[in-house]
A and B are shown apart, each in its own frame.
Chain A
């Protein structure tokens, strides 16, 4: 049976060869491994062996001709079953670009002791599964110990000292939450940038003026506020809410609730529950403006502003719309004291989508809060004040004394228009006003 003899592939970077002298002629009997023809690549002369035993019938490539590897150069007649190893994959050597670096000469190679040996030992696939994962070499990276979770590296300590950075206030982006050099420098740079843009130059202390050096927390709050105000176009809307029913409900249920659940009952979990529900039906109030797009956040995570020792902190109640009033009361009972005393965790402050601020607890009746960037809106619940209010009954107008509470919304006018703001406020209002002393609030 006729069998084509190909010019074999002999190395990764060699693609062609020049045919040299034919050592056999058509009609010659040839044995497997007999050298048939000399071929010459850039620096190496080699012999092509016969792949089988038989008779050489035809020669296609002539002496002096350049032939690509894999091309058919001769034909033989053989009775054998010839197994041809699959061609090795050719990869062209890419030369580096700069001529000063130099280029690789195709086909040039050095054998074990200086000759021109072209290694083909790995160019045919392994007949049996052999090598497992390579590289048990030890790199010093694998020896280094990163066991410290809260350790500060020498350079972090130094930079923190030099720039008066409170390391405990930083969230680390290194392995395992480690505060890295990068984190410290970022904090320093952030402070510098804020300082150069927002604080007017040349404050002059006069006479008995007292200068207070802001704490790192205060600085952070200041930076955050500046960012929110400078980026978000704030607009405001407010509404009055008749909370008489909510007050009566609380009065009637406070003792039972507190003994059943072991937590205090304030208006906050009730307001939180209603607000969370209102966010569910008004999703644009629960969004971010990000890179020119409005991102409607699926999770409803309401941050509750708390006055802590160092300043305002906003622990987040996650998935507030899925929780009952009881559950919310429990969560708030845990997180609020923690916030006040400065013992919050990363989880406590992460992921907020809306903020609720009970400024009424301080007596305020009106608020124009600054939005907690990058959220879309913030709602304040103002003081509950007993007021004379006109109620229309049929055609009659009566004056009655009702407990009234203003709720004030600051919103991102890029995302929300007045109509949507009002709709949201109406949702909250009607949710609260639906509560009466015999409501079954859970």
Chain B
């Protein structure tokens, strides 16, 4: 499949105007919650956060092309908007960031966005980079062996593409023609290491040919384009035609995490310039051009998101932390090898 040019103007029959507006609302809500989490970190309440600001369009659009009732999602720590798109509530997200007892992913044993989702098959076992790729190959292998038409999407960043596990996973997936989508969100920085110090090639997608399956490059700020290429990859996988490597080009609008300061390695011009590729603003402009949104309805959406986030913050802030007693649960099955 050839690379899709930056073409944000048209909706397609796969994505109606109404649905596009709903995706926009998800992105706005994600944006407000994302900002709130950052603020909670500055208040000393949320120990660590990785922002998806700049990645919202690509994550929401990718999820839209899949079927959460049967597909698998192996995420990494930056999939904030993908989690929102998969129906995670603001309360559930905040419980992870504030390390509260009812965190559904890991009961706050892990960093936020780690553990396993209560309703969809989304999981993230560690914050070791790229270990999820071979695991995703295993998940997809199992589906193939079962004859299931479920698809596995594994998310990773440009940094992860350097790890040996990435190569091993892509190699294995290619050999076995697995129903696996390698979804790379390339924001051109692995913490502070810029893309030109990470790879000699122009794009991560160009490596797919080395594994025997297609690689697709797409503008990650374009909801419609990302949705289109992902849908095509999903259809391929479900039809048994094997993996696809999708590389979505995005901007990381904030530093790597709340522990990072990107002014130490990015110029002021660079930081200002990338704000032009804000997917929330880009989609807002598109929707307004299509008369699906105007300033008033946009303001309403923003106000509703803000209010929603406030309610969630107040609620979760008052909840308890996990007690010491539960710390010992689930190390191993209590039966433990006694049959």
Contact = CB atoms under 8 A, between A and B. Distances in A.
In the complex they form, do A and B come into direct contact, defined as C-beta atoms under 8 angstroms apart?
yes
Interface of A: 8, 10-11, 31-33, 35, 46-47, 49, 111-123, 126-128, 130-136
A144 B213 CA distance: 61
A49 B39 CA distance: 8
Interface in B244-268: 257-261
Given A46-B43, A127-B318, A117 B324 contact: no
Nearest to B44: A120
Contacts of A128: 320
B286 to A, nearest CB: 28
Contacts of A131: 321, 323-324
A158 to B, nearest CB: 41
Contacts of A33: 36, 39, 310, 313
Nearest to A110: B259
A15 to B, nearest CB: 15
Interface in B303-319: 306, 310, 313, 318-319
Of residues A31, A33, A47, A133, which shows the largest number of chain B Cβ atoms within 10 Å of its Cβ? A33
B288 interface: no
Contacts of B324: 131-136
B257 A130 contact: no
Contact of A115 (B44, B257, B321): B257
Interface size class of B (residues with CB under 8 A): 20 to 34
B99 interface: yes
A23 to B, nearest CB: 12
25 contacts: A33-B310, A35-B39, A46-B42, A46-B44, A47-B42, A115-B258, A115-B259, A115-B260, A116-B259, A117-B41, A117-B47, A118-B44, A119-B47, A120-B43, A120-B45, A121-B47, A121-B321, A123-B44, A130-B321, A130-B323, A131-B323, A131-B324, A132-B323, A134-B324, A136-B328
A103 to B, nearest CB: 23
Contacts of A134: 324
A123 B321 CA distance: 13
B84 interface: no
Nearest to A133: B324
Contact of B44 (A11, A32, A113, A126): A11
A-side interface mostly: loop
Contacts of B39: 33, 35, 47, 49
B325 interface: yes
Nearest to B257: A113
Contacts of A133: 324
Contacts of B45: 120-121
Contacts of B259: 111-117
B111 interface: yes
Interface of B: 36, 39, 41-45, 47-48, 98-99, 101, 111, 257-261, 306, 310, 313, 318-321, 323-325, 327-328
A139 to B, nearest CB: 15
A422 to B, nearest CB: 71
A11 to B, nearest CB: 6
Contacts of A118: 44
Nearest to A116: B259
Nearest to B127: A113
Contacts of B313: 33
Contacts of B321: 121-122, 126, 130-131
A132 B306 CA distance: 37
Contacts of A112: 47-48, 111, 259
Contact of B310 (A8, A32, A122): A32
A46 B258 CA distance: 11
A117 B46 CA distance: 9
A32 B43 CA distance: 14
Contacts of B99: 121
Given A111-B48, A117-B48, A126-B321, 4 more contacts: A33-B36, A35-B42, A113-B257, A117-B44
Contact of A49 (B43, B98, B260, B319): B43
Nearest to A9: B44
A118 B42 CA distance: 8
